[in-house]
A = this chain, B = another copy of it.
Amino acid sequence: LQQKAHQTVLEINLNALVHNLNTFRKLLRAETKIMVMVKAFSYGSGDVEIAQLLQHQNVDYLAVAVADEGVQLRNAGITIPIVVMNPEHDSFQNIIDFNLEPNIYSFQLLQEFVKALEEFGLSNFPIHIKIDTGMNRLGLKTEKEVEEVITFIKNNKHLKVSSVFSHLAGSDEPELDDFTQEQFKRFADLSALIENSFPYKIDKHILNSAGIERFPQHQMNMVRLGIGLYGISQTGLALQQISTLKTTVSQVKTVNTNETVGYNRNGKIKQQSRVAVVPMGYADGINRRLGNGLGSAFVNGQEARIIGNICMDMLMLDITNLEVNPGDKVEIFGPNISISKVAQLLETIPYEILTGISQRVKRVYLQE
């Protein structure tokens, strides 16, 4: 039996990803380090394959949200530094065993982590200190908090400060530029306290993707690249979309005027219609709100609206005026329906569309 290629996949174009990486590199000085956010399954694009590619492309750091994600990468042979953004207490053992580097965002976390290092008799363990310059998310917020951390680390052989960093709350929003400038200023002040307290060199970084696009003068000696790598620019930078979510039609049927489509009879028709049943649903990450006419898919060169409620593993397309047969290709998003458009329909951001594609959807990688 001829093994056919998978029909329902999220296809990731690795050439496009490299193009995007290089596009950002061109905005940066050659010596500026790049940390790439591969958290959340590389924004849905797959963890191991993306990390391998990035390691091959000589990025300097990878960043994950939780230690488990880092362990997965280490187990797959990734050797470059990996920062853990949310180092929960229960993950200290893994952080140490797998040579991951924690984001130290509070004095309490610092003390707890050092206790773990002491038990292991480890010294010079690399940490990254996060400064909260206005997000009110993780990070040291006041000068007092920063000083407390400095004093503690100075008297401690277990740690080495690899970098100090902060995160911008609205780097993509011109209306927030005054605030962004305040964040830069605050970061300069607080990071200098740390920098000047230790004899060795400490990296500094604050820019995310939109930050790199709009404020390259603040690249310092490292940046943290996320959504841009995955093909989304908020400033019109010439990035390539890397992902296509696609499947094939399972069945085509005629719907008569007295009939309805799908659950709760919500798929109403005005005239005799034809629908295509498509084997993807909300459990694959297609938001149920896209049902009942809001969303569409691209099939045989045309857009077809989703009719009725989206099911867990299926959805139905209104193909009344289209020539469609079982086996025909269906694009949920990709070259014809952009991720940004889907995000707009759902009044959310492309990030959520990308990270929402569930693990049931097989990722396949294209590379020339």
List the interface of chain A (C-beta within 8 A of B). Answer: 1, 3-8, 39-41, 43, 65-66, 68-69, 85-86, 88-90, 92-93, 96, 105-106, 108-109, 116, 119-120, 132, 134-139, 141, 169-170, 173, 176, 179, 248, 250-251, 253, 255, 259-265, 267, 275, 277, 279, 282-283, 285, 288-289, 308, 311-314, 316, 326-327, 347-349, 351-352, 355-356, 358-360, 362
Give the contacting residue for A66; candidates B96, B136, B313; CB below 8 A: B313
Give the contacting residue for A288; candidates B7, B308, B349; CB below 8 A: B349
Give the contacting residue for A264; candidates B6, B173, B263, B348; CB below 8 A: B173
Given A66-B313, A176-B264, A313-B66, A136 contacting B275 (CB threshold 8 A): yes
Decide if B312 touches A351 in the complex (CB within 8 Å): yes
Decide if B279 touches A88 in the complex (CB within 8 Å): yes
Looking across the interface, which residue of chain B has its beta carbon closest to that of A351?
A: B312
Give the docked Cα–Cα distance between A255 and B355 (Å).
29
Decide if A358 touches B360 in the complex (CB within 8 Å): no
Given A1-B119, A289-B348, A362-B68, A283 contacting B169 (CB threshold 8 A): no
**Chain B nearest Cβ from A97, distance in angstroms:** 10
Decide if A66 touches B279 in the complex (CB within 8 Å): yes
Give the contacting residue for A283; candidates B39, B132, B279, B308; CB below 8 A: B39
